[in-house]
Chains A and B, each alone.
Chain A
Amino acid sequence: MAGHRPAPGKPDGKGDELIRNMPAINRKLFWLAFWVIGFAVFMTGLLLYFKYQSVFTGLQRDRVLMVAGEIDDIAEKSLSLGQDFWEISTLQEVIERRRNADRIFLGIEVAGSDGKIAYATDLARIGSALPPEWLAVFARSSRFSSLSPSPSEAVVASTIRNSFAQGAGYAVIRYSRQPEQEAMLVFTRRLLLICVTVFAVFTMLLYVTLAWLWARTDRELVRAADALFGEVDTLSQPHSHALAADVAEIRKQIAAAQKQLAIASPEAMEAQA
Chain B
Amino acid sequence: MKAPPYIQNQLWMAMAAILLVVMTAIVATVSFMYVTFDDSIAPQVLEKAGTAGRSLSGLLGQAASHDIPIEKLVGVEALFAEIAKKHPEISHIALLREGNAVAMTGNSSGVPAALTARMPVSGYESAKAEIAVGIDPRYVRKLFEEMALDLLVVAVVTLFVSLELLYFLAGGLVADVAALKARVAAMSRGGFFPMPQASALGQAWSRALDARAADMAQQYHDTLAALRARLKGRHANEAGEPRHERYHALRVRLAALRNAQTWFSFVEPRGGRRAEASGNAALVLGAMRAPFFLLLLADDLSRSFMPMFAAGLKVGPFAISPNMVASLPIFAFMLVVALSQPVLGGWSERNGRRRSFLAGALLACCAHFLSAQVSSLPELLVWRAIGGAAWAIAFVAAQGYILDHTDAKTRTSGLAAFVGIIMVSLVCGPSIGGILADGIGHRATLVVGGAMTAIALVLAWRRLPPDAAREPASAAVTATAPGLRVALANRRFMLLLVLAAVPAKVILIAYCFYLIPLYIVEAGSTSAMAGRMIMLYSVMMVLLVPVMANWVMGLRARHAREPEALFVAAGLALSGLAGIAMALPFGLLSPLIVVLLLGIGQSLSISPQAAMVAEVCREEIRSIGQSAVYGVYRMVERFGNAIGPVIAAALLELAGFRTAFIAIGGAVLLCAAVFALVFLRPFPRIEAAVVPQGSD
Contacts and interface: CB of A to CB of B under 8 A. Distances in A.
B259 A63 contact: no
Contact of A35 (B169, B190, B211): B169
A43 B158 contact: yes
Interface string B406-441: 000000000000000000000000001001101110
Interface of B: 3-7, 9-10, 13-14, 17-18, 21-22, 24-26, 28-30, 32-33, 36-37, 40-41, 44-45, 47-48, 51-52, 54-55, 58, 87, 89, 143, 147, 150-151, 154-155, 157-158, 161-162, 165-166, 169-170, 172-173, 180, 184, 187-190, 192, 200-205, 207-212, 214-216, 218-220, 222-223, 225-227, 230, 252-254, 256-257, 259-260, 263-264, 432, 435-436, 438-440
A186 B44 CA distance: 14
- If over half of B's interface residues share one DSSP class (helix, strand or loop), that class is named, otherwise mixed; here it is helix
A134 interface: no
Contacts of A81: none
Contacts of A36: 18, 22, 158, 161-162, 165
Contacts of A49: 439
Contacts of B432: 43
B222 A47 contact: no
Residue from A47, A60, A264, A272 having most chain B Cβ neighbours under 10 A: A264
A24 B165 CA distance: 17
A129 interface: no
Contact of B439 (A46, A220, A256): A46
Contact of B187 (A40, A43, A220, A253): A253
A225 B222 CA distance: 25
Contacts of A32: 162, 165-166, 169-170
Give the size category of A's interface with B.
35 or more
B438 A62 contact: no
A224 B32 contact: no
B45 A59 contact: yes
B205 A8 contact: no
Interface in A182-230: 183, 186-187, 190-191, 194-195, 198-199, 201-202, 205-206, 209-210, 213-214, 217-218, 220-222, 224-226, 228-229
9 contacts: A10-B211, A40-B22, A40-B154, A63-B51, A101-B54, A198-B25, A209-B21, A229-B212, A264-B223
B160 to A, nearest CB: 11
B24 A67 contact: no
Nearest to A102: B51
B203 A44 contact: no
Given A48-B147, A201-B28, A242-B4, 17 more contacts: A7-B211, A11-B207, A43-B154, A51-B143, A59-B48, A60-B44, A187-B40, A194-B32, A199-B25, A225-B204, A228-B208, A242-B3, A250-B184, A257-B190, A263-B252, A269-B219, A272-B222
Residue from B188, B219, B264 having most chain A Cβ neighbours under 10 A: B219
Given A59-B48, A228-B208, A254-B216, A187 B253 contact: no
B5 A272 contact: no
A165 to B, nearest CB: 20
Nearest to B172: A28
A28 B150 contact: no
Interface of A: 2, 7-11, 14, 17, 21, 24-25, 28-29, 31-32, 35-37, 39-41, 43-56, 59-60, 62-63, 66-67, 69-70, 101-102, 183, 186-187, 190-191, 194-195, 198-199, 201-202, 205-206, 209-210, 213-214, 217-218, 220-222, 224-226, 228-229, 238, 240-243, 246, 249-250, 253-254, 256-258, 260-261, 263-265, 267-269, 271-272
Contact of B154 (A44, A52, A240): A44
Contact of A37 (B25, B230, B435): B25
Contact of A51 (B17, B147, B155, B257): B147
Nearest to B440: A50
- Top-9 shortest CB links A-B: A50-B439, A225-B208, A263-B256, A221-B205, A221-B202, A260-B260, A202-B25, A268-B226, A9-B211
Contacts of A190: 33, 36
B215 A8 contact: yes
Given A48-B30, A264-B254, A39 B204 contact: no
A267 to B, nearest CB: 6
Residue from A53, A101, A238 having most chain B Cβ neighbours under 10 A: A101
Given A28-B169, A225-B208, A191 B6 contact: no
A203 B222 CA distance: 54
